Homo-oligomer: A and B are copies of this chain.
Amino acid sequence: MIRDSRLSGVLHGLLHMIGAGEPVTSEHLATAMATNPVVVRRVMAGLREQGLVRSEKGHGGGWTLARDPAAITLAEIYRAVGAPTIVAMSHRSENPGCLVEQAVNDALGDTFREVEALFLKRLGAVTLEALAKDFKRRLAKHRQTLKDQIHAAK
């Protein structure tokens, strides 16, 4: 299973950064990501190492995107977020000599790599910008819906 709870949280945060024209504090992001500032820093630190975001200290400091959202794909984010290899076989006993595991690996090793490659390829086809646009569209529609409901209630 893919560790997505993090991924979706991080995406929340990144979309916020796109929206804001200035650095966003960990505290602010913590609200958006439904967690707390220290966790935000921990997770964002991974993205920073991959050159996806920047952080600045002091007054007016916080987190900003380091690159054009159109040039950032979900694949990079997924990796930066600490992608556990999607499929990993049996490290239960850390027994590389186990003949059963060898047989399974021989039969499925390529499959594991293939599946992971497909997944990353698809993630690589979605840019942060595309996601942001889609999100904004949904947001606008959502607001319109709310407005309509208010009108209807009058």
Contact = CB atoms under 8 A, between A and B. Distances in A.
A86 B122 CA distance: 15
Given A1-B87, A8-B101, A108 B135 contact: no
Q: Copies of this chain, how many?
A: 2
A72 to B, nearest CB: 14
A89 B101 CA distance: 29
Given A89-B8, A139-B99, A119 B111 contact: yes
A47 interface: no
Given A1-B1, A11-B100, 11 more contacts: A1-B3, A4-B88, A7-B89, A8-B90, A8-B92, A34-B92, A74-B107, A103-B131, A111-B122, A114-B122, A115-B119
